[in-house]
Amino acid sequence: MFSLKGKTAIITGGGSGIGKAISVLFARQGAKVHIIELNEAAALETIHEIEQNQGLAYHHSCDVSKQTEVLNIFDQIGCADILVNNAGIAHIGKADTTSEEDFDRVFDVNVKGAYNMLFAAIPFLKKSKSPVILNMASIAAVVGITDRFAYSMSKGAIYAMTMSVARDYLTDGIRCNSISPARVHTPFVDGFISKNYAGQEDEVFDKLSKSQPVGRMGKPEEVAALALYLCAEESGFITGNDYPIDGGFIKLNN
């Protein structure tokens, strides 16, 4: 079950965290993985891990906010069966404390970057026998998260784009869904805590962990397992849906 043999998967932000876990798992399941990642060293680490398990993976250095760069990458790859829009950046701030520069930066990467990938990928996906798009949204798209104004905006846009694309390409056979994680323990989280809460790392980590009703953060591998299901042919009857993977955050946080 859940074989991706013979599939070409294009994954943005595959150098670390959730993107790395998805890249490694998809390669293990037989996909040829193309990682789009600005951090070359991180991407090469992911590729090394994949190749150690006899998988196939390639790195493409690309700023997803630049459409010309994205189009050039797809011309090089030449095909696509699966697109995973995972690349994104975070920001701390409210509406009146978020600078225009920071707002534009989050929008360019998280929203325009996903649009650029869709724009470039869809002509290739139309030629696939079982094309799939998976977007990484967030619980911030549907619930209020303190001090995450720009980030929440961007993830709300991802949710809306997912529904729009799922509707528009039904007759092309393209399935499109999204995943909305709560807090997932990645190197980004560790770096964020150490940067913003120096000397309080353990206390803040424990607080963030307990904000999920199950009492811990998610694991990148848990998100990757859900991504695999949604991109495999076993989920062929599923499109136009968002899947929270949140330790009960949305429904059980009273």
Residue 229 has pLDDT above 80, yes or no: yes
Residue 46 CA, distance from chain mean position: 15
What is the mean pLDDT of the segment spanning 77-82?
Answer: 98
The residue among 189, 180, 251 whose CA lies nearest residue 214 is 251
What is the mean pLDDT of the segment spanning 159-185?
Answer: 98
Q: Which two tokens stand for residue 164?
A: 């729009």
Beta bridge partners of 60: 36
pLDDT band at residue 188 under the 50/70/90 scheme? confident
Q: What amino acid positions are annotated as catalytic residues?
A: 151
Q: Are 59 and 40 in contact (CB under 8 A)?
A: yes
C-beta neighbour count of 127 within 10 angstroms? 11
Q: Write the burial class of residue 93 (CB in 10 Å: 0-12 exposed, 13-18 middle, 19+ buried).
A: middle
At 191 the pLDDT is: 87
Query: Rounded distance, CA 11 to CA 239, Å?
Result: 19
Residues 18-42: tens digit of each pLDDT? 999 999 999 999 999 999 999 999 9
Give this prediction's pTM.
0.96
Domains of the chain: 8-182+223-245 (3.40.50.720), 184-217 (no CATH)
At 192 the pLDDT is: 81
